Amino acid sequence: MNRIIPLVLAVALFMEQMDSNVISTSLAAIAADIGTSPIALKLALTSYLVSLAVFIPVSGWMADRYGARNVFRAAIAVFVIGSVACAASNSLMSFVVARFLQGMGGAMMTPVGRLVLLRSTPRNQLVNAMAWLAIPSMVGPLVGPPVGGFITTYFSWHWIFLINVPIGLAGIWFATKYLPVLDVPLPRKLDVTGFILSGLAMSGVVFGLSVVSLPALPPAVGIITLGVGLLSTALYIRHAKRVENPLLDLSLFQNDVFRISVVGGSLFRLGIGAIPFLLPLMLQLGFGLDPFQSGMITFVSAIGALLMKFGATRVFSRFGFRRLLMFGSLASACFIILNGFFTPQTPMTLILIALLFGGFLRSMFFTGVNALGFAEIPDDKTSQATPISAVAQQVSIAMGVALAGVILELSTIIRGSVLQLQDFHIAFYIVGAISALAFFSFVKLKPEAGQELYEKKFAPKVKKIH
């Protein structure tokens, strides 16, 4: 496999993932500098998520119309310009607008980057390629907080965004030099109605969930927005059945493998999406650690994720997607629940080992489920499948964070006291149990599912039942 292509894509996606997570530890410093409150500044986090939700659905059409490599390079450029605008912001409104601009670039980078990988990699090498591409999504949320804390403490919060400039320029250069030109623009007309409805649907759901979990605005605003998002979702589904070329082709869900990978992956991400929110807070509020100390502990999970990229193809070809995804969903859920047993008296070595194996298992799961989703998708439909997959990921992660926030709030209300360690324990038990439900999706897979993704010399022997 040509590792240059996934590495070029992974560097750009890592920049996006790092940036979207690094800001969380710097909110207080940024708010004080631009003259606002940290709670109000969380609108900037929400504006980024809304931008992703609006523009991810149209990313596939953009790639078909203008070429995936061109769109990917342009997305990096937009992200860098947004980063500079963030660093130059001197008010809440300017910062919110700058984050929205960043989100426009980020919305194109992830699905279009995956599309480039799909179109340039033979199917029997896709698992290995996806293992490299999955690293940013696993490492970014864990590395971001300690890096953000370090930069803000010892330098200035502006460098959180300015550091993206050299990385982005290098990404554009490497993309120009190494990414292949494989695309022939397709004369597919833009589904304007679908774009409007999908934008309202996804942004409404993501914004509503974000406001509920991070109440920078009254909860009623989040509930109303969530209702608008759900209504728009229903209208889009109705619209997609009536037009010839919908923006997001929902007929792809007729494919069992694609449907199971999206549904099962989304269930699993409900729990995973809560971890970057719950674990640092538990270590800080429950254990009394500072942000940098908690970040260095959570970083161990990233090491486990990195280790998984070695031999990913051999693992899945030896045991098959069905068995490994069933095992991975249950085992990973157990390690999520295990976080609920940690106390300040728990030996740190035991905590680090648990986080290391948890990161390894989650990386294995995501590598497999991301590759499996495209196993039976025709090449001419990949530009529709990638944004659907990306939208499902964003919504499920937002739901995971919202769920964790609601659980913590309800737990404190029921007990009638302030947030304590046991509230985090309860949250880990619940989100871990929900992640385990993904097991029942993957049970429905056929034993030979994803077999075309194996190298022939590694393909497992599937016993036929007559």
286 and 142 within one domain: no
What per-residue confidence (pLDDT) applies to 138?
64
Distance CA 113, CA 111 (A): 5
* pLDDT digit string, tens, across residues 410-427: 888 888 877 788 889 999
CATH number at residue 345: 1.20.1250.20
* 98-to-43, 89, 103, 181 alpha-carbon distances in Å: 12, 8, 9, 31
342 and 240 within one domain: no
Evaluate if residue 44 carries a pLDDT over 90.
no
Tokens 């040509």 -> residue: 2
Mapping DSSP to helix (H, G, I), strand (E, B) and coil, where does residue 283 land? Answer: helix
- Residue 344 structural domain: 248-452
The reported pTM is 0.79
Are the beta carbons of 333 and 358 closer than 8 angstroms?
A: no
Last residue of a domain, one of 179, 199, 224: 179
**Average pLDDT value for residue range 235-248:** 89
387 and 289 within one domain: yes
pLDDT bucket at 394, cuts 50 / 70 / 90: confident
* pLDDT digit string, tens, across residues 319-329: 888 888 999 89
Closest by CA to 73, choosing from 162, 159, 183, 147, is 183
DSSP state of 157: T
What per-residue confidence (pLDDT) applies to 11?
77
198 and 79 within one domain: no
